[in-house]
Amino acid sequence: MRWVLYPVAALLALAILGLATLAAMSLFAWPNLPSLESLTDYRPRVPLRVYTADGHLLGEFGEERRDVVRIAEVPALLKHAILAAEDERFYEHAGVDPMGIARAALSNLTTGGRGQGASTITMQVARNFFLTREKTYNRKLYEILLSFKIEHELSKDQILELYINQIYLGQRAYGFAAAARAYYGKTLDGLTLPEAAMLAGLPKAPSAFNPIVNPSRAAIRQQYVLRRMLETGIISHADFEAAIAVATPTRSQRDTAVARKQQESSIHGDYVAEMARQIAVEQFGDKAYELGIRIFTTVTRKDQEAAYAALRKGVMDYDRRHGYRGPEAFAELPPDSVSNEQLDELLAERNDYDDLLAAAVLQASPKQVKVYRRGEEITISGNGLRFAAPMLADKAPQTRRIRRGAIVRIRDTGSNGWEIAQVPEVQSALVSIDPRDGAVRALVGGFDFNRSKFNHVTQGQRQPGSSFKPFIYSAALERGYGPGHVVADDPLYFPAGVTGSQAWEPKNYDAKYSGPMTIRDALVRSKNMVSIRMLQDITPRFAQDYVGRFGFDSAKHPPYLTMALGAGSVTPWELAGGYAAFANGGFRIDPYVVKEIYDGNGKLIARTDPPVAGESAPRVLDPRNAWLIDSMLQDVVTRGTAARARSLKRNDLAGKTGTTNDYLDAWFCGYNPDLVAVSWVGFSQPRNLGRGETGGAAALPIWINYMGVALAGTPEIQRPQPGGLIQIEAGDGSRSDYQYAEYEPPEPPLAPDWLRQMFASDNEPALEAPEEATPPVAPRPIPAAQAPAPVEDRMPVPIRR
């Protein structure tokens, strides 16, 4: 018997020694445990969030997506699912579960490893706040001691609340509230039983059980959680069966992916959100990403979505007019078969751009194309091939032909099925503002933010073309002109001897001339010769100073005659602010996009208080000037180059088209008294848009589609005529018109005397101009194949519309 007792005694001694050692280590470690201040005064990293004026999320920025909730706000169903999955005896143990430890130890002994853990929720809180995830006995000891300390100082509900808000659950989501939004686009109280079980299964391994990335493994874990809920009596067998029935991998993948897409792209405000982010970082530095700052912008959901849809349609329509360019890339695929994994890897580097989805071609013929997309084979035929038909023909060049291995874009058109599309190369921008105070109602800085983050609204310095003419006309009104004054629309020629540089022969857009005409009709028909003659008379230097009152940088509009044709440099943002002065009766306002900023505690810390037209905004135009320009711009819409806008069936619309030399830029700037909107189309690296792609053809349709939604249901507004105007007979005798009462009825001359003398004798130009007149200065030619250059290097612009 004695030989039996010796080993038992030895084991007992070793156990006592081990316990003594553990106790000594614990006594030594306890004073060195960290303070629990980070738990008792919990200040999580909450991301910067940007909202519309009506409270819809536009974007969030920060490494951790987190929505902090109180324990009372967490549905009982989710709490039970978390406890069933992670710590069934949470409310019974003191931070460490001896039964769980014994179970894990037995498992590890039988498997010969350390893979089975026994972490309680309290231990996970200790690890997440204070420790690493390394699997060492020393770290485990500190974790256990910290758990006892946490349980001593916090209540069970406080501990569970910390866990629910702090735990990482994949998709950059920290906490269950953020995860519910990331995976399902829901708040916690909207989760179903299968969804709650799915989220409760994530803490064990967020990447492995991510229902978007690994739907099959996620479903297995989800079913485990549901079984645990059934075993613990939380749900009934009927609830279990019903939940299992809708929790298949395919359904899980589809539902979560769709919900995530809806959550991320329900409002297409990336450019607005980025502008707000930059403002926050300027104010708060990198801390802006973790202080829970909330920024409310001025845009509204209705206007922003309308702007995005209008711009996207306009760009896609332009792209279709110019034909299919061919597949984006090609890959060599085995002739017989290829696995889904190989195809997924092939498509992994191709980003989707909203509804323009990347797909790999498996089979192709002029009548049918079969493509692969995320585990699904899609067959496209009929109208779905019409756009890409030239690259399916036998005569199509091999480098652009759709064939097996080609990477193409597909688009779901709804009831008409799938079609082959392409990502447009052209860019566009649209911004709309309230002319009363400059509040931005909608802003889209490009076709797709994920493709190009360059904001063409605020950063795109481009030549405005004839969309700049109203500001020249406004200057002319201040120098005695009236809409009924007559100026000659006849050819002009400036030889090198006069310009001091190179000869310049500007033309009208259509190279046709109409002789003497009123400046009202000249603006309606966008006649370049009239604008040049009028600018020459009032002098380019006066006009350069004058446009500064609209908010333009005068230095970007050199005092050359080409300023009459919009040869300066502007952004859509600046043009919107400039046109607002015509819309609001002559007041200077500056566009702004951030309305209010709140800190993490909901305290208002900043608010924009903009000048308001008619109240605090400075008057920069005589009200008569604003009314007359508005009158002429309304004629542009009713009978001029923007007549297509009559489709909106409103009588309070005004605006001006603009097309620059060689069709590099297409513009439309228009408004009613409630809303100003500017649309632009062009390439980021300027190049020809194609013959006929004028402001009226490319940019105006975007403006119309946006304004049709933005102004729907709003009453027409007619601005009352201000005093101080007299009605006179137009210079061409066609009808009566208005001018300032203090100016004499006779019109200014058709052109300065020296200019008319240039053409008086066999077209021999005068060698010198009188000193009092400013001779036209022919600008330098546009450098070929260059990005937008300083304005001095981007003239002349001989054709405008």
- The residues carrying an active-site annotation are 86, 466
First-last CA distance in the chain: 112
Q: Are 725 and 738 in contact (CB under 8 A)?
A: yes
What is the rounded distance in angstroms from the CA atom of residue 121 to the CA atom of residue 161? 11
Say if CB 126 and CB 150 are below 8 A apart.
yes
**Contact yes or no for 438/580 (Cβ under 8 A):** yes
- Say which amino acid occupies 698: A
Give the CA dihedral 282, 284, 287, 288, nearest 10 degrees: -70
Cβ neighbours of residue 288 under 8 Å, at least 6 residues apart? Answer: 48, 61, 277, 280, 281
- Backbone phi, then psi, for 474, in 5-degree steps? -60, -40
Q: How far apart are CA 261 and CA 255, in angstroms?
A: 10
Cβ proximity of 371 and 378 under 8 Å? yes
Sign of CA dihedral 600, 602, 606, 608: positive
User: Alpha-carbon distance 347 to 364, whole Å?
Assistant: 18
Burial (CB < 10 A; 0-12, 13-18, 19+), residue 102, is: exposed
Question: β-strands 65-66, 173-174: how paired?
Answer: parallel
Q: How far is CA 147 from CA 24, 35, 179, 540, 690, in A?
A: 18, 12, 25, 79, 70
In angstroms, the Cα distances linking 139 to 33, 119, 127, 166, 539 are 12, 12, 9, 20, 81
Per-residue tokens: 641: 């180059």
Scan for tokens 């007149």, then name that residue: 773
What are the structure tokens assigned to 93, written together?
A: 């143990």
Neighbours of 767 (CB within 10 A): 8
Strands 665-672 and 675-682: antiparallel
Contact by Cβ (8 Å): 123, 95: yes
Cα(145)–Cα(150) distance, rounded to whole angstroms? 9
For residues 787 and 785, what is the distance between their CA atoms, to the nearest angstrom?
7
Q: For residues 420 and 358, give the distance between their C-alpha atoms in angstroms, rounded to a whole number.
A: 10
Cβ neighbour number for residue 257 with a 10 Å cutoff? 16
CA angle 128, 133, 137 (to 5 degrees): 115
What is the four-CA torsion angle of 35, 38, 40, 42, rounded to 10 degrees?
A: 180
Cα pseudo-dihedral 769, 770, 776, 777, rounded to 10: 80
Element (H, E) at 231: helix 215-231
- Map residue 54 onto helix, strand or coil: coil
Which parts of 447-539 fold into alpha helices (H)?
Answer: 469-478, 496-499, 519-524, 528-538
34 burial class (0-12, 13-18, 19+ CB within 10 angstroms)?
Answer: middle
Phi then psi for residue 682, to 5 deg, are 180, 175
Query: What span, in angstroms and rounded, lies between the C-alpha atoms of 578 and 552?
Result: 8
